[in-house]
Structure 1
């Protein structure tokens, strides 16, 4: 009888076993040959079997109740048409649906516990609950995506306060080999390269954020976090692609970029500069906030999703920057590349914050690599610019002796470079000494500049480079001046061009970089060329007005023949100068006026003195008009016609 305890069922959920055990126990209790101890054991067994019967009935009731609730929520969840949005219907229905899915989730958890002890029936019910939950989650995933898409806020970058103004930007499209006036003042810094303000916008309507958070919470607690993340990433990736489309950033390969003409590429770079600032400072900052609001309660999920959403677009933008960096190093590209470098350098701290996790490391690394390559491109393009200045050759003299297009281009070019002083000092600072060019090795101008370099007010890397460039320019101009056969025009040309260089340096940042000594030295240079011009042009003419050689040999009387010849030669020489030099041009009004005054003082004074002494000696003054064609006032007025760049001729005196 001690083995009677083995009759107790080991599985409390098996009703048939319990009933059979009770039947056996009661049959044994009717036996007449039982001891008191056996009777006590059988009574205890009977009591325990009765309790198990009650417990089994309770479990049956619980399972039945769960099954009834499952039937109800299944009907509720299945009643929604897959093409119909729950959240578009009404807040009440959306709330009911969330409650239904939440109940399935709880029932699934309860059944998970029951199935461990209650056998096959509870397990089947658990599997059914999982199916219903999966159906509910699939609908929630659809709703999650639908809400994100339907409530996306319009992105309007043109309304942002730091948008670029096309009318404020003048492009540096002229190349250094083009010799025309279009280069004058054609270089200006891109207004979008600095000063953008940072602010955050609503990418999704704020009213639906609580709904999105609620759906995400349901999906995460139901272990459907992967589906939720994928839905978020898919929708927001499309939104970022649309953002780049609105910012007019095409998806181009490096090969596509390298094949583009400069005019098109220049426009693309301006768009890139603007797009980078807006995309990082506004769009990514806003995307980060949106991601934190919806997924911020689930650990590092928000950072991972943000990186997955945005790294493709960021790498697309960086890829364009890389294509520019590895492209041909042409001087006209330097300012745009500098703008790109400065913008990216300014944004890298933001990029490092946004992509601080391991999943964003590729963006962090690539941004630093692109910045480095852009910096290398700046240095290489800068050196290429000096080479282009040095190698710019001409076979014909520049008409009129005015300011050569090369001078305008170079001086405007380096004047704009001062806007990037800090960046260029940083990038050029690793060059201990600026490499000397072949042309500068034999140039007295460059040697003189190098001797005075130590007295410059600025010894920054950029200042040293600019001094070298101006020296190379002067050497080139000196060579171009030798294309003129007329010595006076050689000096006239150099006077004009060096004066222009000084005017560009004075009163600008170039003055601070090149120094007062540079300005004083070059002031002397163009003034010396002005004096050399006067000697070359007017010395021979004024020689006709000298007293030497006009007297008859052996007497103090004036030779009328020599005197007539002097006046005739003076008239012819003056008319020749007038015909030539009215076509010469001095663009600077002050220089033009100063040179006219200087010439006038010398010529008019000499002419008036000579004429006053000797006019009456020409046949007693009776026929003096035959030889004295012009009065001193006439000459004074004629001198005012010089250097206007419009050739004129004198055939008859202009009496006033």
Structure 2
């Protein structure tokens, strides 16, 4: 029993202990939950503490750039306020200085904010898992920095501070050009014939005053530093192109649009070629060179060569330079004739004189390469055309041999033309240009050796062919006396008119003397063939010697009444020699009377002329219609007209006499 009681007491004690233990266990569980929460909280705090410790280094480096950004922004705001209230005029340099400072401040703001953004972004990335006020402030700071970083770009917008400033600066650039650009005054020499010794261009002033050019340079420099060159280049081309166009308004350049074909003569535009040369020289040496220099001065330091070339070209094209090239091409297309050679040489001389100028102002690449190509093509046409005509001159003279000589025995128009033409070719200017042309073509043909003095050689060949023509023509006359008149005229012309000329010097003194001897020889031969036998023929009339004389004289006089001796002195001497033969015979017949007459002293009914009448008839022989019915002073005009006719006819498709 006692054992059971002990067991019961043990159980009670155990139960009580179990209850206490359960209570303790429950309390322990609660404590453990609280401890676990505390541990988790501690872990979070420990983690935040570790994160802040980790970004401390980044914060230390980011704070100075961020602080610098806000300091720079403060300076930007101050400069922006000043610039917004300032205009380029009247103090351009101060305005440009403000723009420069503002631009530098913006650039500094952009660069500083860029560096600050990099540091703050690192901090922001590190604090991505932290949800507290620090992370929020960092994100806000980052947004502000990014806005400041784009401030420079926004300033260049149309309504931005720099956008407005550059728009005002562009207006100032335009106003400076418009207010100080004036058309060049056309020299009076461009309206004259161009033959006066005083025919020189007046000095051309500078395109713009130096102070204005310097202001333009400063503005361009400002635009260049901000990559805005296109803004002022477009305005420059428009304004200066208009000035170039206005500079030429006083010159009538309508002739540049003339079109001719290979069937048209160059004489139709001969007068325009002289104008073309003077006008082109004025355009290139004064208008375009002035524009080239101005363009280089304003933009040369700030843009590339190709851009500078393009700017000048677009300005220069307003001068109509391509129209000048087109007109010269028109000349090369005209009918191939002798006079065209001189015009081609004149064009070559002008282009050659302007060659260096062309190389300077149009020496760049595109788009000036178009002008270069057109000019080279023109020079090629001029050189080849001139050489072709020159080398064909002798054959053209030979072709004239097939024609008939003048029916009145005068000097053929071809002789007058060829000799004057050859003298022109031998003129120093034409000869030099022709030699240049021949040498150039020789180099194009890769000829190893060029023959010097080719012009002299060819002219001598032309004269030899001309002399052969004269011999051939003289043989075509049926009447030997007329053949003599013809050879008298031509030999007199060649000896008298070429003496002392370049052609006469080339042919030589012996050649001149030869033709002087020919004049005397054919004059004597003419007298012999026409009047030498008049006495015998007159005496052969047994019934009436005076009647026989009259018959012979009338026949000869009538036949030769249309013949002409061109040279006045030669004509007088010839008539004088005829009178020396005829008058004595006639006087003797009249004074002796007719033995068959019933009244020896009565007038002979066959006496048709008085001695004085006969003398007047003989002295009036061999005169041209101009001499007979008009003033002899007009002979020069006649020769000029003859020359014009011959010049127009001396071509591969026609012949002249």
TM-score of the two chains, using structure 1 as the length reference: 0.69
Superposed, 1:489-500 pairs within 5 Å as 489-500=482-493
2:580 aligned with 1:587, yes or no? no
Q: 2:186 aligns with which of 157, 160, 163?
A: 157
2:174 aligned with 1:166, yes or no? no
Aligned-partner Cα distance in 2 for 1:144–1:647: 71
Superposed, 1:133-532 pairs within 5 Å as 133-160=162-189, 163=190, 165-166=192-193, 200-204=204-208, 208-243=212-247, 246-249=250-253, 262=266, 264-298=268-302, 301=305, 304=309, 305-306=311-312, 309-310=315-316, 313-358=320-365, 360=368, 363-364=371-372, 366-392=374-400, 398=406, 400-419=408-427, 420-428=430-438, 460-477=453-470, 485-532=478-525
Compared with structure 1, are the counterparts of its residues 210 and 428 closer, same or farther at alpha carbon in structure 2 (3 Å cutoff)?
A: closer
Is contact 2:532–2:581 with CA below 8 Å preserved after alignment?
Answer: no
Gaps of 5+ in 1: 15-51, 78-85, 169-190, 433-457, 550-560, 650-656
Q: Following TM superposition, by how much is the alpha carbon of 1:243 offset from its aligned partner in structure 2, in angstroms?
A: 4.7
Compared with structure 1, are the counterparts of its residues 144 and 528 closer, same or farther at alpha carbon in structure 2 (3 Å cutoff)?
A: farther
2:128 aligned with 1:120, yes or no? no
Compared with structure 1, are the counterparts of its residues 227 and 398 closer, same or farther at alpha carbon in structure 2 (3 Å cutoff)?
A: same
Compared with structure 1, are the counterparts of its residues 241 and 502 closer, same or farther at alpha carbon in structure 2 (3 Å cutoff)?
A: farther
Helix, strand or coil for the counterpart of 2:532? helix
Aligned-partner Cα distance in 2 for 1:514–1:71: 90
Q: Following TM superposition, by how much is the alpha carbon of 1:378 offset from its aligned partner in structure 2, in angstroms?
A: 0.7
Is contact 2:109–2:148 with CA below 8 Å preserved after alignment?
Answer: yes
Compared with structure 1, are the counterparts of its residues 230 and 528 closer, same or farther at alpha carbon in structure 2 (3 Å cutoff)?
A: farther
Compared with structure 1, are the counterparts of its residues 294 and 500 closer, same or farther at alpha carbon in structure 2 (3 Å cutoff)?
A: same
Compared with structure 1, are the counterparts of its residues 208 and 426 closer, same or farther at alpha carbon in structure 2 (3 Å cutoff)?
A: closer
1:194-228 Cα distance to aligned partner (Å, 9 max, x none) = 99669543334555323322222221222223433
Aligned-partner Cα distance in 1 for 2:264–2:589: 69
Is contact 2:182–2:243 with CA below 8 Å preserved after alignment?
Answer: no
Is contact 1:488–1:537 with CA below 8 Å preserved after alignment?
Answer: yes
Q: Following TM superposition, by how much is the alpha carbon of 1:340 offset from its aligned partner in structure 2, in angstroms?
A: 0.2
Compared with structure 1, are the counterparts of its residues 272 and 195 closer, same or farther at alpha carbon in structure 2 (3 Å cutoff)?
A: same
Aligned-partner Cα distance in 1 for 2:626–2:202: 59
Q: Following TM superposition, by how much is the alpha carbon of 1:102 offset from its aligned partner in structure 2, in angstroms?
A: 3.7
Aligned-partner Cα distance in 2 for 1:568–1:248: 72
| Structure 1 stretch displaced more, 372-381 or 265-274 | 265-274
Aligned-partner Cα distance in 2 for 1:640–1:431: 56
Q: Following TM superposition, by how much is the alpha carbon of 1:541 offset from its aligned partner in structure 2, in angstroms?
A: 2.0
Compared with structure 1, are the counterparts of its residues 425 and 617 closer, same or farther at alpha carbon in structure 2 (3 Å cutoff)?
A: farther
Compared with structure 1, are the counterparts of its residues 207 and 481 closer, same or farther at alpha carbon in structure 2 (3 Å cutoff)?
A: farther
Structure number with larger C-alpha Rg: 2
Aligned-partner Cα distance in 1 for 2:452–2:90: 74
Is contact 1:114–1:122 with CA below 8 Å preserved after alignment?
Answer: no
Compared with structure 1, are the counterparts of its residues 56 and 465 closer, same or farther at alpha carbon in structure 2 (3 Å cutoff)?
A: closer
Is contact 1:237–1:310 with CA below 8 Å preserved after alignment?
Answer: yes
Compared with structure 1, are the counterparts of its residues 582 and 634 closer, same or farther at alpha carbon in structure 2 (3 Å cutoff)?
A: same
Compared with structure 1, are the counterparts of its residues 372 and 527 closer, same or farther at alpha carbon in structure 2 (3 Å cutoff)?
A: farther
TM-score of the two chains, using structure 2 as the length reference: 0.69
Aligned-partner Cα distance in 1 for 2:560–2:194: 40
Compared with structure 1, are the counterparts of its residues 533 and 158 closer, same or farther at alpha carbon in structure 2 (3 Å cutoff)?
A: farther
2:106 aligned with 1:108, yes or no? yes
Compared with structure 1, are the counterparts of its residues 244 and 124 closer, same or farther at alpha carbon in structure 2 (3 Å cutoff)?
A: same
Q: Tell me the residue number matched to 1:18.
A: none
Q: Following TM superposition, by how much is the alpha carbon of 1:57 offset from its aligned partner in structure 2, in angstroms?
A: 4.8
Is contact 1:544–1:570 with CA below 8 Å preserved after alignment?
Answer: yes
Compared with structure 1, are the counterparts of its residues 585 and 205 closer, same or farther at alpha carbon in structure 2 (3 Å cutoff)?
A: farther
Q: Following TM superposition, by how much is the alpha carbon of 1:238 offset from its aligned partner in structure 2, in angstroms?
A: 4.2
Is contact 1:269–1:336 with CA below 8 Å preserved after alignment?
Answer: yes
Q: Following TM superposition, by how much is the alpha carbon of 1:640 offset from its aligned partner in structure 2, in angstroms?
A: 1.5
Compared with structure 1, are the counterparts of its residues 470 and 317 closer, same or farther at alpha carbon in structure 2 (3 Å cutoff)?
A: same
Q: Tell me the residue number matched to 1:622.
A: 601
Aligned-partner Cα distance in 2 for 1:379–1:404: 26
Q: Following TM superposition, by how much is the alpha carbon of 1:120 offset from its aligned partner in structure 2, in angstroms?
A: 0.6
Compared with structure 1, are the counterparts of its residues 600 and 58 closer, same or farther at alpha carbon in structure 2 (3 Å cutoff)?
A: same
Compared with structure 1, are the counterparts of its residues 146 and 331 closer, same or farther at alpha carbon in structure 2 (3 Å cutoff)?
A: farther
Q: Following TM superposition, by how much is the alpha carbon of 1:596 offset from its aligned partner in structure 2, in angstroms?
A: 1.8
Q: Tell me the residue number matched to 1:180.
A: none
Aligned-partner Cα distance in 2 for 1:459–1:568: 67
Compared with structure 1, are the counterparts of its residues 167 and 320 closer, same or farther at alpha carbon in structure 2 (3 Å cutoff)?
A: closer
Q: Give the RMSD, CA atoms, in angstroms.
A: 4.2
2:572 aligned with 1:572, yes or no? no
Is contact 2:261–2:333 with CA below 8 Å preserved after alignment?
Answer: no
Compared with structure 1, are the counterparts of its residues 578 and 351 closer, same or farther at alpha carbon in structure 2 (3 Å cutoff)?
A: same
Aligned-partner Cα distance in 1 for 2:59–2:278: 73
Helix, strand or coil for the counterpart of 1:8? helix
1:459-505 Cα distance to aligned partner (Å, 9 max, x none) = 93222222332333344455555665443223323322342233332
Aligned-partner Cα distance in 2 for 1:219–1:268: 46
Aligned-partner Cα distance in 2 for 1:73–1:257: 65
Aligned-partner Cα distance in 2 for 1:414–1:647: 27
Is contact 1:429–1:461 with CA below 8 Å preserved after alignment?
Answer: no
Is contact 1:288–1:354 with CA below 8 Å preserved after alignment?
Answer: yes
Q: Tell me the residue number matched to 1:604.
A: 583
Q: Following TM superposition, by how much is the alpha carbon of 1:377 offset from its aligned partner in structure 2, in angstroms?
A: 0.8
Q: Tell me the residue number matched to 1:20.
A: none
Aligned-partner Cα distance in 2 for 1:358–1:226: 19
Q: Following TM superposition, by how much is the alpha carbon of 1:335 offset from its aligned partner in structure 2, in angstroms?
A: 1.6
Q: Following TM superposition, by how much is the alpha carbon of 1:590 offset from its aligned partner in structure 2, in angstroms?
A: 1.4
1:434-471 Cα distance to aligned partner (Å, 9 max, x none) = xxxxxxxxxxxxxxxxxxxxxxxx99322222233233
Compared with structure 1, are the counterparts of its residues 263 and 570 closer, same or farther at alpha carbon in structure 2 (3 Å cutoff)?
A: same
Helix, strand or coil for the counterpart of 1:227? helix
Helix, strand or coil for the counterpart of 2:150? helix
Q: 1:636 aligns with which of 615, 634, 643?
A: 615
Compared with structure 1, are the counterparts of its residues 507 and 403 closer, same or farther at alpha carbon in structure 2 (3 Å cutoff)?
A: same
Aligned residue pairs: how many? 534
